[in-house]
Amino acid sequence: MTALAVHIFGSINLDIITSLEHLPRPGETVMAMATARLPGGKGANQAVAAARMGAETYMVGAVGEGDSGSWMLSRLKADGIDVGGVAMLPGVDTGTAYIAVDSVGENQVIVVPGANARLRDARPVSEGVLLAQLEVPVSALLPVFAKSKAVRILNGAPAVQEGRALFEHVDILIVNQHEMAAFLGLESAPDNDDMAVIAETARGLLRREDQTVIVTLGAAGALAVRTGWQLHVPALPVIPVDTIGAGDCFCGALAALLDEGVSLEEALPYATVAAALCTLGQGAAPAMPMREAVEDLIGRPATEHALPIKNRSAASLS
């Protein structure tokens, strides 16, 4: 088994989380019971998930030159992530998400994109896996997706409509049900229990015969579809502490396994177990599980299924 690398193009945010009795109404001031500063951003979260799954992980993104940016880079480096592709930009703030959580777990999030909006000049990836999300400009991602020879995975989150321009250039598109509905212009997502309807709806996002769309379904697991094929993988039953970052964990873990040459069918159960484990810890990046915890639960190492490197390409996904 020889892995190449997972190249993550995405957002790097500082998450400022406040715990409140109730969320403020317009014009209201409320006192927080506790506050925490945690690493976040979909790109950074997915990078941590991939690295903890054992992938050699390269992060491409942008932070501001100040303390927040340095702190985020130190957090990523602590997980062994190569941050050589992260620009430190003068005169710009690091992306910041202000998250308020009330006593019943309801939340409000305000994201200030900061340096993430300045990501430019990203280079195509020739091998391994490319993984991106939509918290950085689509204009920066488009040339990378159009020219990369790596397995190209797009997590269509958040459901930024311009992101549809990337769909023809992806090998695997990962969305949750709400994102799927938003990209298709539907008012609501189909019911979780009707896999045939979800599969048919998801096929509306396919642009080529050799593409795969994966819809994550929360506690109902994940459904992968291609033309004439589908696979539903149930979730590991857990009682979540919080589901923040579960989708990011799924994407990062899946990317790491595909990079090793594990087939999509074999990788999906590992990614769903990793994502379920992520719901058992607080926050996003800090809750990403280590590979051993995932393999222990499944009962065998994922590498038993790996393809030799010469047989690996986007085509071998099917």
What's the CA gap between 59 and 73, in Å, rounded? 10
Under the binding rule (CB under 6 A), the answer on residue 134 touching ligand ADP is no
Quote the tokens at residue 162. Answer: 């311009």
Out of 272, 283, 288, 302, name the contact with ligand ADP by CB under 6 A.
272
Out of 57, 211, 230, 243, name the contact with ligand ADP by CB under 6 A.
243
Out of 250, 268, 270, 287, name the contact with ligand ADP by CB under 6 A.
250
Residues 170-199 that bind ligand ADP (CB under 6 A): 176
Q: Which is nearer to ligand ADP, 201 or 279 (CB)?
A: 279
> Shortest distance, CB of residue 35 to ligand ADP, whole angstroms?
23
Binding mask 143-162 for ligand ADP (x = CB under 6 A): --------------x-----
Under the binding rule (CB under 6 A), the answer on residue 240 touching ligand ADP is yes
Strand-pair category, 229-233 with 95-101: unpaired
Out of 222, 255, 257, 288, name the contact with ligand ADP by CB under 6 A.
222
What's the CA gap between 89 and 115, in Å, rounded? 7
Query: Scanning the structure block, which residue is given the tokens 């702190």?
Result: 71
Interface segment toward ligand ADP; rule CB under 6 A; list 141-149, 180-188, 197-205, 268-276 = 268-276
Interface segment toward ligand ADP; rule CB under 6 A; list 87-95, 102-110, 184-192, 244-252 = 244-252
Q: What amino acid occupies position 101?
A: V
Out of 12, 59, 73, 236, name the contact with ligand ADP by CB under 6 A.
236
Residue of 93, 248, 259, 296 marked active site? 248
Q: Tell me how crowded residue 277 is: count the other CB atoms within 10 A of its CB.
A: 21
Binding mask 14-53 for ligand ADP (x = CB under 6 A): ----------------------------------------
Under the binding rule (CB under 6 A), the answer on residue 246 touching ligand ADP is yes
191 an active-site residue? Answer: no
What's the CA gap between 197 and 190, in Å, rounded? 7
CA 295, 50, 300: angle at the middle one, nearest 5? 15
Out of 218, 263, 265, 301, name the contact with ligand ADP by CB under 6 A.
218
Instruction: Tell me, by CB under 6 A, how many residues bind ligand ADP.
Output: 20
> Shortest distance, CB of residue 243 to ligand ADP, whole angstroms?
5
Q: Tell me how crowded residue 25 is: count the other CB atoms within 10 A of its CB.
A: 7
Under the binding rule (CB under 6 A), the answer on residue 216 touching ligand ADP is yes
DSSP letter string, 151-195: EEEEE--S--GGGGGGGGG-SEEEEEHHHHHHHHT-SSPPPTT-H
Sheet containing 107-112: give its strands across.
Answer: 34-40, 13-19, 95-101, 107-112
Q: Which of 280, 233, 277 is nearest to 53 (CA)?
A: 277
CB of 78 within 8 A of CB of 102? no
Out of 39, 54, 128, 221, name the contact with ligand ADP by CB under 6 A.
221
CA 48, 60, 314: angle at the middle one, nearest 5? 80
What's the CA gap between 1 and 276, in Å, rounded? 26
Quote the tokens at residue 245. Answer: 């970052």
List residues binding ligand ADP (CB under 6 A). Answer: 157, 176, 216-219, 221-222, 235-236, 238, 240, 243, 246-247, 250, 272, 275-276, 279
Give catalytic residue positions: 248
